[in-house]
Amino acid sequence: MFGKSNINISHFALEAVRTSINRRLIKKIGRQNFHLKIRRHPHTTYREHAMMSFAGADRLSSGMRNGFGRPVGKCSRTRAGDIIMECNCAMKHVEDVKRAFQIADKKICTTTQIVILRTEKDEFISRISLPHVSKFHLPKYQLNK
């Protein structure tokens, strides 16, 4: 799965995607039949400036003065075309993995595409209803404006 736009993905969203895929695949195909790998890791700290929003807040708060904010969490800076996660499985489980990824990509706030990165034999590519993309030739999408 890779994203089609530049985005910051929070560690909460990455964890939600991971648990969603893990839960579905363990239930459908078993723990030993797949290997899920998260390729993007959250390193960047993001901050929020808490604003008061009640009656009389204008007398208590200082507005945007010293508005650097407090650290809220970590996020992963993802460029368009970066692989977010991948899963290795047997050919008979491809449809279950594809469905798990389709459900999980709703938890990320960008458009994603599910592709095949590699197979054991080239003849398997035609039997799977997913586009095949070389790992080194992923399309670089432009920032959505």
Question: Is the residue at 64 inside a domain?
Answer: no
Nearest residue to 42 via CA among 85, 8, 5, 11:
11
Question: 3 versus 123: which is more confidently predicted?
Answer: 3
Nearest residue to 84 via CA among 13, 137, 26:
13
| Number of separate domains in the chain | 1
Q: How many CB atoms lie within 10 A of CB 143?
A: 9
Question: Is the residue at 133 inside a domain?
Answer: no
Q: Are 138 and 81 in contact (CB under 8 A)?
A: yes
Q: Which domain holds residue 11?
A: 2-53+70-127
pLDDT digits (tens, 9 = 90+) for 50-109: 777 777 666 666 667 777 888 889 999 998 888 899 898 888 898 899 899 999 999 998
pLDDT-derived band at 118 (thresholds 50, 70, 90) equals confident
Question: Is the residue at 110 inside a domain?
Answer: yes
pTM flag (> 0.85) = no
Q: Are 61 and 51 in contact (CB under 8 A)?
A: yes
Q: Are 72 and 48 in contact (CB under 8 A)?
A: yes
Question: Is the residue at 75 inside a domain?
Answer: yes
Nearest residue to 87 via CA among 26, 139, 38, 15:
38
Q: Locate tokens 């997913």: which residue?
A: 130
pLDDT-derived band at 14 (thresholds 50, 70, 90) equals very high
Question: Is the residue at 143 inside a domain?
Answer: no
Helix (H, G, I), strand (E, B) or coil at 15: helix
Question: Is the residue at 118 inside a domain?
Answer: yes
Q: Locate tokens 């994603």: which residue?
A: 112
Which pair of structure tokens corresponds to residue 48? 């929020």
Question: Is the residue at 59 inside a domain?
Answer: no
Residue 76, domain CATH: 3.90.1170.10
User: Please, what sign has the CA dihedral across residues 112, 12, 42, 27?
Assistant: negative
Question: Is the residue at 48 inside a domain?
Answer: yes
